[in-house]
Structure 1
């Protein structure tokens, strides 16, 4: 599917290198003529691909023709990529600028054997395309009309605004009452049971949406100590569900693998807590004994705990207690059945989506057709969302009428059944899919590589798209920017859902595909994307596809005895390979065989998430150099890896290198500077000693998680901090460690102020005082530090100065979050109150701070009108932790009409400050609703004595940790 994108990419490459090949004298005669013929055939094929794609749903012969075209296009892409890589390697060897004029002068110096090999491959591929073009005439395809669909450019906020909830108010009210009310056991005082509420209905009826509305309700949040949401859609994945519950309770990843141990920990963590557990999309054929064990482990929670379950099925259709969810007599179980929405509710939902941003005249003009479109949705809200999202950007009556009159509504129900998607959803989804541009189709279909209900990380997804060549550059735009636009476009069509956003800036972090959309994408890809699970009994791949030439594969292991399938080594044309946890471990992968056999890989993901690879990857073989096409390499969390081979530096096409949390990796190989196409180096949590020489050549780099300044012994191998001035495209977040090893001049030469796309910066001095290192040295470095003008977040660790330069602090008026940690010599806090945009402030481990007063507020600032400016005008969250000597917090100023202290403060946390006796309560605003005191003995004593200052905090929370 979506082969127009692949053909277009190949054509672009052919156009750019035809002249190079002519000058290179490819040894094999007539190659240039064959390449020109190949180009002409592909151009002719490109003109009919739109019609071919639509016909393949019903015509097997067309489907086979497109598959042959896809395989051949991939082979051409591999050959051209091999050529370009050889050119790049030659240029690097000669230290030549990467410019087209230089490329042509060097092509004739390529090895004869390589030129001969490339020439032979291109001649053979030209013959294959000739045969494919010959078959084209027999299908009588229609030529593409017009220039094709344009990509609608939008921002994430435009695409993903949450929708209002339609038509389930009664059901929502009933569930809220059940969640907040007492059970009959609790009222009678008998031994409490764990009430279970079931939401039942057909697929796409809105069960998950209703559960999510309830889960995120403000009253529910206040009513429960812990809320847990887990997808339970995989019937054999009991351990994964249990571990997800445990990880939510712990707040961190669990390394436990035995079910009994996991359930025991769950029991301990819920002890005495009021818990709400949502199990989304539970299957009937799950193991009854497992659910009984899970229920038992949760019963140690306090009274008022609840379980909310969503399940496909009809109300009263089957006894829920058969799988262990509910008491045997059924008295502790309530069913809420969802039916179709009324016509009025469907129209209301449709209007909200399709008419968003339209004038009243437009709404009136499109309303009649809209009613007819809604009538095809049969009361199913998900179908309404898909069609509303499709028509949202259609601006003419003709376009709306075309959707209403489409032949797709008349597809044979057998096709829908084969797809595993009901006809009420298949037609709307197919209409939406056909409306996508070729590039967007590719991006959408690639998502089917993930397992069902998988949490997709948006930034990772964009990097994977980029590795496959789906994000074509448009003029000066970054591929990452294009990826963001593509993601927003797909999200606007309701093809993604359940968005998790950053609490800091509201950016999308993760999302999911609705199970119906996932099944639809799987049907369209068939052999293209291939998700497999490995089970114990046969230790081989189990999937819906038997086609041997699949290009994309993700393997999940559901047992701790799962073995890497030997058949994978034979998939020579594989372009993506990933390993994911499914509740088990993987055994038996031989990386040298992967590198020797799977040489077409663009993406290789071997992250040790959840210890899947804990017994496997201890060393990266030198054969990795054979993966010349590789763009994306993920080795994160592999704590057995101690070093990387020098041959890694021969992966000239590498764009993304993920090395986070490799706890035993101390150094990167020398020669990393040759990887001039690197765009993302993610090394957070990996204890590197220094950055290798040559990284100033990473001119394409967008992401560098951490830069480590050398500590002396490694100076000859290490890059200086000054090399950061060459990384002009750095963006996002950067942590600089080891600033105790630099002076004022070196920090100034790094020119950090010119990195305008850096939004977050962390700076860390050395943990321990070095001999000869004075506090004045740190002060000089901070004085020379110029912050980027757009900086929004900053952290500083292990600073040894007695004061912090206000010039450094005040340089960024956009700073929203600031953390100062282990600034052990500070005697008073800097005047941070003047930061106009600061919303979050955390101060930790400042053992010499005894008093906090007016110096903290910077009270001498005035506005342009001469009135005093409020201190911390936008601050919402304030945290003080481990301020051991802090005994007084007092301001010598009064709250006035024009001058206020922290007028927007919502949350205040004070922990382990045992000398502090009282808070400046008279200066706290009415907005402060969340006040936590953790292990502060004198504050607790003051509260217990009932002093008047505490009366304004009825919801204060004391705890001991």
Structure 2
């Protein structure tokens, strides 16, 4: 991970040498000289790793190891002395200024040690020059010959099966066949053979959807843990039997389809089988497993489908589709491609991963021959042959993607990884190379898409607008991640399969804990150089010696621990906390501003968190997310002090009852996402309440000054005075940059929708909880030109008068708990872009109207319009589908 360590060191040095704060003193000549010298050498090695290939892998690997060690040592020298106990600086300066000044002080103090690092880098540089003179390295071919932003059509966008057509037909016949008894159908095969993709194709088939009353999918995985399942369940219900009984009663009498994906143990089947009633109505269970005995034990001996490796012809078909899609393969590449496919030994995962490599590489015979030779040498007849094939895809990743890929190992097996979390972690780790034209998060988003294009990770869930929301990684690819991460000393993973800690590793940088049984030995096992500590377990602790932490994820603490322990971590960039045992409110200490490098602050709590005014003295903050919080106003600037500006703040979520004045909004000029709540306890129409409404109206209108705002979520929880809220909401102004708008709880006439409809970039509109006052909505023609998603929930709307001219770009239309809605106009079905109409808890006449729309569209030759109608008798179960409920129940 030489590249990642160099990139991180570059950002640290640039922060010291080019800090934008005008009040900071310039470096002394000697200090600046050594800093710039080190930065110049680091940039040289970054350029070398970016521009040169790895023909001589062993030589390059040795060099990378030395570069990584030198970069880590330099960063340790610079950061190790940034300790609050040494910050004896004038109290007139804020903590961030003290941190910067002290960085400079210690750069001089550690001059000799840094000189030794520079000498080591000079030695490595000399070796690199000699290698280039001997032609041991050569310029890499272009990584992506396609235009920027192009996206492939492989697993990142769809999951078509190639080579299993007969098996698919057999399973579909068994699912819809005449047998009325509950039937278990098992899909058995080795890892990477395509069991999950096979099951997903069956599960998503339109005829299968139509055949069953309800469907659900849950992933079990190897880490099945009954104790954790019970613990998680008790967070949402006091009695597991009650929750299980609710599921049983819901399934009772329905023809259902349940998919239990990736089952490893017969005990897991014992835990769940009793939840599925057999009413002799044709219900089915699909079970995927690598272990045939599990399938037999589950009682599916007459319906076991063994997926075998693809033959050479089918292998080539899959590889061809992955690389070229519907295009033709150039004649000069076809024979080489068939050899590559043959060498993948028929394993679909290997084929799509190598296909991703070919897709991103040059389409020349020389490059393809190079890949063919490497794939062929990887297949040596051992049990690890497929892992060696997958390793090729890692070895050919651009350097900037390698650390990002290996970072997937920090997450548990089958973990659903939110892209927003992943990219924030990458930014905090220093993996993202700055681009002046884009934010770091935008660059990180591109990295995610690049890994998807290469089939290194999987798209698990996309938003209605097609953007990736949740990704996952295949078990075998995760095994590769874990292996390489530990080989390269990138990460140590501790889970329940690890019987003991390794020998003391004082140079370990990242630790991820997946088990409660780590015995609180972190401090004894790892040295003080640990930069990242991530918890995916119930038990957590914060070792006092981990003072250089940048990432702290999943820590559970009592409120008193915050000021005592966490504020000492002045290098911290990313923190996710759960504060325990809070019933009302807690106020974070003013000393939080000591965390002058903090980028992401996420706090989960049972009560409301109070953020102090000192939060405005943390200019590197990029994201603030809380369950609910009160945000203090910034303190007035004193003599000689600059006005605080959160220049980098992009996300502010969970804030309630904050008065956004123009002056305050100018202090967060780059805010992109804002989630706020407004409430008032008043029960009368007093002057105080009227004044509050006037303030709120003024506040909302100030949002026009947020010139980068793309996502706005406003919730109103006033318990009286609805007419005042209605009045203020008829005269509001919103920034034209908005792409996503959520409004909940306010009262607004349907006529005022023209204000929202005129927003030129609006793509998603979510309106909830009696937000509008009126029975008829007739959209204005020429509005909502870019709207792709419209969701209405719990409104009094009775009639929607709209056609294809009102929402010309609409893709997804949803009505939830709109019980007074009479019908959906048939002309809505004529919108050419419309893909889905979804109804839940609506009137029977509304349901019938959408069914009629679907019939009319089919008569016109449009078979693409999907109608989703959810049952209304699921009580508190998530309205969208049963899958989330089952996953929560089993929590596999």
Q: Same-fold call, TM > 0.5?
A: yes
In the alignment, structure 1 residue 518 sits paired with structure 2 residue 491 = no
Which deviations, in whole Å up to 9, do the C-alpha atoms of 1:702-721 show, x marking residues without a partner? Answer: 122244334xxxxxxx7647
Aligned residue for 2:303, secondary structure, equals strand
Count of residue pairs the alignment pairs up: 829
Q: Select 2:441's aligned residue among 480, 499, 504.
A: 480
Q: CA offset at residue 554 of structure 1? A: 1.6
Corresponding residue number in structure 2 for 1:951: none
Corresponding residue number in structure 1 for 2:210: 222
Corresponding residue number in structure 1 for 2:386: 424
Q: CA offset at residue 182 of structure 1? A: 4.3
Question: 1: CA distance between counterparts of 2:807 and 2:163?
Answer: 46
Contact 1:735–1:763, Cα closer than 8 Å, also in 2: yes
Corresponding residue number in structure 1 for 2:256: 275
Which deviations, in whole Å up to 9, do the C-alpha atoms of 1:229-281 show, x marking residues without a partner? Answer: 3333315534567899x8xxxxxx96469987876665455433433332333
Which deviations, in whole Å up to 9, do the C-alpha atoms of 1:133-168 show, x marking residues without a partner? Answer: 658989998347456576644356767232532100
In the alignment, structure 1 residue 383 sits paired with structure 2 residue 350 = yes
Corresponding residue number in structure 1 for 2:191: 203
Change (3 A) 1:762 1:373: same
Aligned residue for 1:805, secondary structure, equals helix
Question: 2: CA distance between counterparts of 1:42 and 1:918?
Answer: 64
TM-score, normalization: structure 2?
0.79
Q: Select 2:801's aligned residue among 834, 857, 866.
A: 857
Q: CA offset at residue 215 of structure 1? A: 2.0
Corresponding residue number in structure 2 for 1:346: 315
Q: Select 2:324's aligned residue among 345, 355, 358.
A: 355
Q: CA offset at residue 326 of structure 1? A: 1.9
Question: 1: CA distance between counterparts of 2:238 and 2:150?
Answer: 41
Corresponding residue number in structure 2 for 1:952: none
Question: 1: CA distance between counterparts of 2:826 and 2:26?
Answer: 79
Q: CA offset at residue 493 of structure 1? A: 0.9
Corresponding residue number in structure 1 for 2:652: 704
In the alignment, structure 1 residue 879 sits paired with structure 2 residue 815 = yes
Corresponding residue number in structure 2 for 1:864: none
Corresponding residue number in structure 2 for 1:24: 27
Contact 2:374–2:392, Cα closer than 8 Å, also in 1: no
Question: 2: CA distance between counterparts of 1:263 and 1:858?
Answer: 43
Q: Select 2:664's aligned residue among 708, 720, 723.
A: 723
Aligned residue for 1:761, secondary structure, equals strand
Question: 1: CA distance between counterparts of 2:709 and 2:256?
Answer: 40
Q: Select 2:72's aligned residue among 45, 70, 74.
A: 74
Corresponding residue number in structure 1 for 2:590: 646
Corresponding residue number in structure 2 for 1:311: 289
Question: 2: CA distance between counterparts of 1:241 and 1:785?
Answer: 47
Question: 1: CA distance between counterparts of 2:823 and 2:128?
Answer: 84
Output the aligned Cα RMSD.
4.9
Bigger Rg over Cα:
1
Question: 2: CA distance between counterparts of 1:374 and 1:497?
Answer: 21
Contact 1:350–1:374, Cα closer than 8 Å, also in 2: yes
Which deviations, in whole Å up to 9, do the C-alpha atoms of 1:364-421 show, x marking residues without a partner? Answer: 232232222222112222222122211113335254245246557436969x86xxxx
Aligned residue for 1:606, secondary structure, equals strand
Question: 1: CA distance between counterparts of 2:289 and 2:525?
Answer: 39
Corresponding residue number in structure 1 for 2:716: 765
Gaps of 5+ in 2: 636-642, 681-688, 858-865, 874-892
Question: 2: CA distance between counterparts of 1:381 and 1:922?
Answer: 39
Question: 2: CA distance between counterparts of 1:396 and 1:875?
Answer: 36
Corresponding residue number in structure 2 for 1:939: none
Ranked by relative contact order (alpha carbons within 8 Å, sequence separation 6 or more), the top structure is: 2
Corresponding residue number in structure 1 for 2:220: 232
Gaps of 5+ in 1: 187-191, 247-252, 608-612, 711-717, 860-867, 936-961
Question: 1: CA distance between counterparts of 2:54 and 2:35?
Answer: 29
Change (3 A) 1:815 1:913: same
Farther-moved stretch of structure 1 (166-175 vs 87-96): 87-96
Which deviations, in whole Å up to 9, do the C-alpha atoms of 1:477-504 show, x marking residues without a partner? Answer: 21111101111111111101252112x2
Q: CA offset at residue 123 of structure 1? A: 1.9
Corresponding residue number in structure 1 for 2:887: none
Question: 2: CA distance between counterparts of 1:156 and 1:542?
Answer: 44
Contact 1:533–1:555, Cα closer than 8 Å, also in 2: yes
Q: CA offset at residue 658 of structure 1? A: 1.4
Aligned residue for 2:158, secondary structure, equals coil
Q: CA offset at residue 334 of structure 1? A: 2.0
Contact 2:628–2:654, Cα closer than 8 Å, also in 1: no
Question: 2: CA distance between counterparts of 1:336 and 1:917?
Answer: 42
Corresponding residue number in structure 2 for 1:336: 305
Corresponding residue number in structure 1 for 2:166: 170
Q: Select 1:687's aligned residue among 628, 642, 645.
A: 628
Question: 1: CA distance between counterparts of 2:342 and 2:610?
Answer: 63
In the alignment, structure 1 residue 397 sits paired with structure 2 residue 395 = no
Corresponding residue number in structure 2 for 1:374: 341
Change (3 A) 1:899 1:682: closer
Contact 2:754–2:779, Cα closer than 8 Å, also in 1: no
TM-score, normalization: structure 1?
0.74
Question: 1: CA distance between counterparts of 2:174 and 2:223?
Answer: 27
Aligned residue for 1:697, secondary structure, equals coil
Change (3 A) 1:68 1:93: farther
Q: Select 1:450's aligned residue among 411, 414, 418.
A: 411
Corresponding residue number in structure 2 for 1:292: 270
Contact 2:153–2:325, Cα closer than 8 Å, also in 1: no
Change (3 A) 1:544 1:737: farther
Question: 2: CA distance between counterparts of 1:259 and 1:900?
Answer: 47
Question: 2: CA distance between counterparts of 1:238 and 1:127?
Answer: 53
* 1:803-818 correspondence runs (5 A): 805-818=752-765
Question: 2: CA distance between counterparts of 1:755 and 1:157?
Answer: 35
Contact 2:74–2:117, Cα closer than 8 Å, also in 1: no
In the alignment, structure 1 residue 599 sits paired with structure 2 residue 555 = no
Contact 2:616–2:646, Cα closer than 8 Å, also in 1: yes
Contact 2:433–2:440, Cα closer than 8 Å, also in 1: yes
Aligned residue for 1:174, secondary structure, equals helix
Change (3 A) 1:258 1:136: farther
